[in-house]
Chains A and B, each alone.
Chain A
Amino acid sequence: MGKRIAKEVSIAIAEAVKQCRVDVIAAYPITPQTHIVEHLSELVANGELDAEYITVESEHSAISACLGSVATGARTFTSTASQGLALMHEILFIAPALRLPVVMVVANRALSAPISIWNDHGDIMAERDIGWIQTFAENGQEAVDLVYHAFRVAEDRRVMFPAIVNIDGFTLSHMIEPIELPDQEQVDRYLPPFRPRYKLDPRKPLSMGPVGIPEIYTEAKKAQDEAFKNAYKVILKAWDEFEEVFGRRYRPVETYRMEDAEVALLIMGSLAETAMTAVDRMREAGKRVGLVRLRLWRPFPLRDFVKAVKGLKVLAVIDRALSPGATGGPVGTEVRSALYQVPGRPRVVNFIAGLGGRDVTVEDFEEMADRAYVYMKKKPKEPYEMIGVKE
């Protein structure tokens, strides 16, 4: 077992990527992802990591180079945030369709305008439909652990889909936390070498990325969707094995104090830790409040999620992104739709909070829970409400 030492989360992520023995990194600097890629380039420069670091001229080229690299059979990593992720948008869809398992850490950050370097989930929610495996980390240890898991799952021959590990920009990326980095031997045991069945090699030519005429496009997308849904089992299995090797346990949906809860908050990412404190306080005050955290966002853990919220009266979904003019935030609409067919479903209320680096405090969570109690009896007027906005 490795030692638990205080480290900046970004540095720890870079160290984890090194332990995964990546072959190629292609990345473009953007706040707040920079410390990850800076440290990786340092590891390459020092000879501590035997990899090619491609200093691309944009995020669009970063992800494009990553696709070329994985297609050639190299383990490949990139990292970005916000505008950079948005610039990748076009290519992000192509990676899973071509079954090219790139691993990417996104240091979640608000999208312009106004330009903001601070944290929310606007960047990744705009990429909801790209077809990548997407997980959210709550703390530094999770961030690191999810990186090993991402490579393990993405490159599994039954999966072969790219994966994003989401970490909150600054509030997670720049924190110094006690983190246990495993021994290299443990990582090697968990993560076998990347051996794709197909790759670009003149000894066995193949064509990747053909034209899909209308007679085949639907079938190609169906095949992709089925394969993606089937990845779910492998994702869970890889977390089971993670526990066996590293001793820490992860689940796609995690709950906190949900026994007998009538109201629950649902959140993704690092704010869950603040929300836990709020839940503790409210429990002390005799309120039956719990917390649901979605660790896995894609593929959506439908069954596990429905199970987790069973028996609730109100589920308060906290979105860290705005979808202007929609029927809710991206997570809110998703959750409503997931529960629609469920008999005796809880009422879903949706709050938008923590945009562009705005703090969401323990008191804010308490307020949201209180409002949820109000909505237990009376339907909210609006499909979503913004929290902490100055009038």
Chain B
Amino acid sequence: MLKEWAKFKGFSAKNLPKEEPFAPGHRACQGCGEVLALRLALKALGMNVIAISATGCMEIISSPFPYTSWRVPWLHVAFENAAAVASGVEAALRALKRKGRFPRNRRVDVVAFAGDGGTADIGLQALSGALERGHDFVYICLDNEAYMNTGVQRSGCTPYGAMTTTSPPGKKSIGQMTWKKNVPAIAAAHGIPYVATATPAFFLDLMNKVKKAALVEGPAYVHIYSPCPTGWGTKGEDSITLAKLAVETRIFPLYEVIEGKYYITRKITKPKPVEEYLKRQRRFRHLTEEEIRKIQARVDAEYERLLRLAECL
């Protein structure tokens, strides 16, 4: 518990904010889990926000001129630099407040949104720099596990075995040959006050984590698992089911890292087999039983590792 959270009671189903800082009329695909994650995150943050988007699905679908879905001030510059742009916004606010050109006591949360490619790959350096420098901002990675905006190419966050347009399974390949990059751990390694993982399936957990991230003084990183029906070959209606299954199979565990200490926020004592999650998605359909066993073993080992981290309190 950080001192900044003392007054925050937490959201509940009964006290959800009415405001929608993100407007409908956006052009996300049917059943997009990413735009839902974005909506929920903004709902938690409220209207006193300056938002920065990296290039990507959420930027494209929210701002085809002359339309914008943003009801809060919003800036998009490029793909790999959301964290750097946010650094500039945050520094400017600090300077302007100090010099009396922006109301000193007016709270403004600076939040950067980027996809997994914009975070784990091309934007990793800018993210690392911004976290290390200690800017007071929230960085939200909306992870749909590939470059969806350009047509489903693999990223560092694409899970092992997944079929994408640049990790196609074939005679000599099972699809993605590498394991998902652990970006929350990289963020945590910067010694920042707050890191969390979330998914829209557990919307209160997501909103509370985003709000806590905003309240923290200094950098905070929230990694949100965001189902993509188009890229994963799933039904739009299944997005929440999958987001839930990812947690229940321990594939995407929910946890927080508060000042370096790990806390599992949803312990999964009786995990479902990963197969249940994998078989619902076309991107994993080619996997053999042996590959699925390999994935299960990896998921078990990673969860064990996480448990041990959480035990080291």
Contacts and interface: CB of A to CB of B under 8 A. Distances in A.
A65 B95 contact: no
B275 interface: no
Interface in B98-148: 98-99, 101-102, 108, 125-126, 128-130, 132-133
Interface stretch (B10-18, B69-77, B280-288, B290-298): B69-77
B49 interface: yes
Nearest to A212: B65
Contacts of B95: 23-24, 50-52, 74
Given A52-B91, A73-B92, A202 B126 contact: no
A60 B81 contact: yes
B112 to A, nearest CB: 9
Contact of B77 (A94, A206, A216): A94
Contacts of B86: 68
Interface stretch (B56-64, B229-237, B254-262, B266-274): B56-64
B52 interface: yes
B78 A72 contact: no
Contacts of B222: none
Given A23-B92, A54-B88, A65-B87, 12 more contacts: A51-B95, A56-B87, A68-B92, A71-B88, A71-B89, A72-B93, A91-B77, A201-B102, A204-B73, A205-B73, A207-B63, A212-B65
A234 interface: no
Interface of A: 23-24, 26, 50-52, 54-58, 60-62, 64-74, 76, 90-91, 94, 98, 200-202, 204-213, 216, 220
Interface of B: 47-50, 52-53, 59-60, 63-66, 68, 70-78, 80-81, 83-96, 98-99, 101-102, 108, 125-126, 128-130, 132-133
Contact of A56 (B59, B78, B84, B96): B84
Given A56-B129, A205-B70, A72 B96 contact: yes
Contact of B84 (A61, A74, A220): A61
Nearest to B27: A211
Given A65-B85, A205-B70, A71 B75 contact: yes
Contacts, number: 166
Contacts of B132: 57
A256 to B, nearest CB: 42
Contacts of A24: 88, 91-92, 95
Contacts of B102: 73, 201
A57 B52 contact: no
A200 B90 CA distance: 11
A124 to B, nearest CB: 21
A58 B84 CA distance: 10
A65 B65 contact: no
A155 to B, nearest CB: 14
B60 A211 contact: yes
A202 B21 CA distance: 11
A209 B133 contact: no
Given A205-B72, A211-B65, A55 B133 contact: yes
Nearest to A61: B84
A24 B99 CA distance: 12
Nearest to A65: B88
Most buried by B among A69, A76, A207: A207
A138 B313 CA distance: 63
Contact of A205 (B59, B71, B92): B71
